[in-house]
Structure 1
Amino acid sequence: MTMTDCTTGLLDFIARSPTPFHATQSLVELLTEQGFSPLDEMDSWRLKAGGRYYVVRGGSSLIAFVVGNKAVETSGFRIIGAHTDSPCLKVKPVPEIDKKGYWQLGVEVYGGALLNPWFDRDLSIAGRVSYLSKSGELRSALVDFQKAIACVPSLAIHLDREANKNRSVNPQTDMNAILQISSEKQSFRTLLMAQIKDDEAQEVLDYNLSFYDVQTPSVIGLKGDFIASARLDNLLSCYLGAQALCEAGGAHTSVLICNDHEEVGSRSDIGAQGPLLDEVIDRLASDGEVRQRALRRSVMFSVDNAHGVHPNFPACHDDKHGPMLNQGPVIKFDANQSYATSSASAALVRWLAGTAQGEEVIPLQDYVTRADMRCGSTIGPLTAAAVGVATVDIGVPTFAMHSIRELAGVSDLSYMVRLLERFLAHESLPFPSNL
């Protein structure tokens, strides 16, 4: 895949994926085009060597895999992990607010969102709606208003003279979105009915809906160096992981896991603390001894964005660990195991990226948080502990993580996808458990 194709593909993928539900649907479409077949968890599976399969759970988490020709107990699993969710504003269950002649929707903050950038943006709403059909069936559908229908206006500087000095945001009172001038009492669920493309829809029972910025992803910079987009954390990794899996050969069993709910701690049946990956591995290696031998020969790349050193705020980084955009993937370290990287798993990544492979060197960078600051985390440590697989945390460096619009480097896309492809394709990996 060329750099241009990779960039164009990512921008299109993100534009079609305003919520984790839509991101999972986009992944399904991508995988289906590459010969992957769906599996139902309620069925007995008959997997074939070389077969390509995927499973969706909860509508917003996905696991896809290629069954290798080699026995898993001798070749292990090659696993790439990412997450489908991003910090955002969610629509409350009873959202209607009629105040001072304006019809608003109450919002709930999902994850560690950077709130100030949400003001004064052109917002739409998308997600999944559960509804009752005229025949009494319980159904669900994805919805997307696909146009700007709301805004959270800032308070004018004349009414808040200290706004540029010390402004705090109250998510309960400051973030409610305005949709229109209030003319009559309205029901949000009635509004949703018009978005369901099913003539049999009778009543909206519930929903999981998010606001999103309608500004499309784009390449920016004088020389087109950067990608500006919402949800780069972590749809960028989902897309690159899927591309790498599609290029995987049939020798080794390769797996892509994209969990929802990472941004809120992964504590759900479809999050990284849930059993999805563990249960699929059980199907691929049902015998207890085979499973244990396979996992000792397995490696997981937990791929989640890293903090690029910000030129306006360099003091927020350790002097020796400030990743640059377009200078290669970042290996992330944390002595307290908020990242799962060990010296052995990091060494494996350096070995794969280096000249020992007889291929072009892939540049790598290192990141560790300042000793007087607390870092974030990923699905890496959770999966490593739950499944028992050696893991490395890596990611593409970005600016403005958790903002409504983030920034990444174009060149880093090709660096990362080449590293992931090399990881899945290499004939014989040294296993971190033996290093």
Structure 2
Amino acid sequence: MSVHPHFTRAHTDDLVSFVQASPSPYHAVASAAERLEKAGFRQVQETEAWDGEKGGRYVLRGGAIIAWYVPEGARPETPFRIMGAHTDSPNLRVKPRPDMGSAGWRQIAVELYGGPLLNSWLDRDLGLSGRLTLRDGTSRLVNVDRPLLRVPQLAIHLDRGVNDNGLTLDKQRHMQPVWGLGKVTDGDLIDFLAEEAGVTGSEVTGWDVMAHDVQPPAYLGRDRELLASPRMDNLLSVHAATSALAAVAGQDLAYIPVLAAFDHEENGSESDTGAQGPLLGNVLERSVHARGGDYEHRQRALAGTVCVSSDSGHAVHPNYVERHDPTHHPRANGGPILKTNVNQRYATDGSGRGIFTAACERVGVPFQHFVSNNSMPCGTTIGPITAARHGITTVDVGVAILSMHSARELSGADDPHLLASALKSFIES
């Protein structure tokens, strides 16, 4: 079966809505949960007992979501088909003492998260989003999705050689955004965010807040065949996997499909909500036990489990072709990429590659291969972490984009649906 253009664009339209509703990891998991709820999934609490009945369930923790669907007839040793992704993106995050200023300007103290392209955050209208922790232990999402902050670049008249010598930014001195004029008062920002969230500043005891680009995603080009969007790395994959999981709910499946969308991939995944943490393993183990299984059943289930780690990859750049491997030039709208690195920065091997290519071929989705230029080290993903931590076959895939880690990235408009179609085929085959 081939992919119809009408459904391709409808999927990308929904991705645009998902990205708009997900300026932070906490909003992203809430958006994913909302879509799963509509497909019949229900939230379960980690502190409560789980049942082994068929149907869809999900666990939320911070900026991570683990969701799974137990089909009719699933046994304790039934293997899993896991779609892994991450909810976080490089950005600017608010410090514990955020109110600062200089020379009559009020500013917000921020810390760099992950590896952002710093220049892409200059002279851009920014909002603030994230979560506020309240005195009673609950949290409240906050999203100021309008122009609020700006990191102003130095005028060329004061840096005459910038176009010849390159832009040099000091991460501490040059990346603090402005948001007003006048006297700096401690508590101003948190009082403002609390009001936006419908609480008082005195109720707020902690926060995880970040800047985001308020310009909405947009189709680009004469034929609208490209998509420009913030947070494409890696909300594109989170949305694709969520859509795939929701689409198979109710089917008679041979495997138990799982969505594992982690936080903190951009800085090493070492947290209770990251891929290095125990969250996924705990959920899989408890799922086995809820269906009457024991350690032996769990080991048998994992032995037959496969994970597709989906994260953005590099499309060949028309202005920097020499930076890419000369025989591997992934292109936009060319379908998902299979990412390979023999030094295990990606987890793909021959067997995993065979499983994913078969899933693509089953539904007529084209696919491509990516390896890095030997002269340049490649990035990594949750793939190797997942393979090593859980001992399961893992394959790294994604969508080829330009401007990775920019405040605004670029992909083909057809690729999101092609990836989702391949993931759906993977979990239902």
Same structural fold, with TM-score higher than 0.5 when normalized by the shorter chain: yes
Q: Which amino acid aligns with 2:160?
A: R
Is the 1:88–1:110 Cα contact (8 Å) retained in structure 2? yes
Matches within 5 A, 1:50-129: 51-57=55-61, 59-72=62-75, 75-129=78-132
Q: Which amino acid aligns with 2:150?
A: C
Is the 1:104–1:178 Cα contact (8 Å) retained in structure 2? yes
d(CA) in 2 for partners of 1:315, 1:28? 42
d(CA) in 2 for partners of 1:203, 1:424? 44
Aligned to 2:150: 151
SS of corresponding position for 2:206: strand
d(CA) in 2 for partners of 1:190, 1:74? 52
Matches within 5 A, 1:278-293: 278-286=281-289, 287-293=294-300
Judged with a 3 Å threshold, the aligned counterparts in structure 2 of structure 1 residues 8 and 281 are, in CA distance, closer, same or farther, namely same
Aligned to 2:185: 185
CA shift, 1:48, in A, is 0.9
d(CA) in 2 for partners of 1:70, 1:383? 27
d(CA) in 2 for partners of 1:349, 1:185? 55
**Number of residue pairs the alignment of both structures matches:** 415
Aligned to 1:303: 310
1:139 lines up with 2:138 in the alignment: yes
CA shift, 1:275, in A, is 0.6
1:351 lines up with 2:358 in the alignment: yes
Judged with a 3 Å threshold, the aligned counterparts in structure 2 of structure 1 residues 210 and 237 are, in CA distance, closer, same or farther, namely same
SS of corresponding position for 1:48: coil
Which stretch has the larger CA shift, 180-189 or 240-249? Answer: 180-189
CA shift, 1:183, in A, is 4.0
d(CA) in 2 for partners of 1:184, 1:363? 55
Q: Which amino acid aligns with 2:142?
A: V
SS of corresponding position for 2:174: coil
1:365 lines up with 2:364 in the alignment: no
Q: Which amino acid aligns with 1:47?
A: G
Aligned to 2:334: 327
Q: Which amino acid aligns with 2:17?
A: D
d(CA) in 1 for partners of 2:173, 2:119? 14
Aligned to 2:197: 196
Aligned to 1:170: 170
Aligned to 1:312: 319
Judged with a 3 Å threshold, the aligned counterparts in structure 2 of structure 1 residues 333 and 293 are, in CA distance, closer, same or farther, namely same
Is the 1:72–1:294 Cα contact (8 Å) retained in structure 2? no
d(CA) in 2 for partners of 1:22, 1:225? 28
Is the 2:401–2:410 Cα contact (8 Å) retained in structure 1? yes
Is the 1:192–1:204 Cα contact (8 Å) retained in structure 2? no
d(CA) in 1 for partners of 2:310, 2:252? 22
SS of corresponding position for 1:167: coil
d(CA) in 1 for partners of 2:225, 2:197? 39
Aligned to 1:11: 16
Judged with a 3 Å threshold, the aligned counterparts in structure 2 of structure 1 residues 256 and 158 are, in CA distance, closer, same or farther, namely same
TM-score, normalised to structure 1, is 0.93
TM-score, normalised to structure 2, is 0.94
d(CA) in 2 for partners of 1:185, 1:418? 52
Report Cα offsets for 1:353-408 as digits up to 9, x if no partner: 22xx4x5x321110011111111111111011111110000001000000000001
Judged with a 3 Å threshold, the aligned counterparts in structure 2 of structure 1 residues 184 and 20 are, in CA distance, closer, same or farther, namely closer
1:23 lines up with 2:28 in the alignment: yes
* Structure 1, unpaired ranges of 5+: 427-435
Report Cα offsets for 1:176-210 as digits up to 9, x if no partner: 000001146352222223123247x6332111100
Identical counterparts, % of pairs: 40
d(CA) in 2 for partners of 1:113, 1:184? 28
CA shift, 1:347, in A, is 1.4
d(CA) in 1 for partners of 2:345, 2:192? 42
Is the 2:12–2:414 Cα contact (8 Å) retained in structure 1? no
SS of corresponding position for 1:161: coil
CA shift, 1:75, in A, is 4.4
SS of corresponding position for 1:148: strand
Report Cα offsets for 1:121-143 as digits up to 9, x if no partner: 001111111122xxxx2331011
SS of corresponding position for 2:140: strand
Which stretch has the larger CA shift, 245-254 or 209-218? Answer: 245-254
d(CA) in 1 for partners of 2:197, 2:44? 26
CA shift, 1:18, in A, is 0.4
Which stretch has the larger CA shift, 345-354 or 389-398? Answer: 345-354
Of 335, 338, 341, the match for 2:348:
341
Is the 2:19–2:231 Cα contact (8 Å) retained in structure 1? yes
Of 398, 411, 429, the match for 1:395:
398
Judged with a 3 Å threshold, the aligned counterparts in structure 2 of structure 1 residues 191 and 345 are, in CA distance, closer, same or farther, namely same
d(CA) in 1 for partners of 2:76, 2:396? 24
Matches within 5 A, 1:33-44: 33-44=38-49
d(CA) in 2 for partners of 1:131, 1:420? 38
d(CA) in 2 for partners of 1:302, 1:185? 45
d(CA) in 1 for partners of 2:409, 2:237? 14
Aligned to 1:416: 419
SS of corresponding position for 1:32: helix
d(CA) in 1 for partners of 2:341, 2:73? 34
SS of corresponding position for 1:195: helix
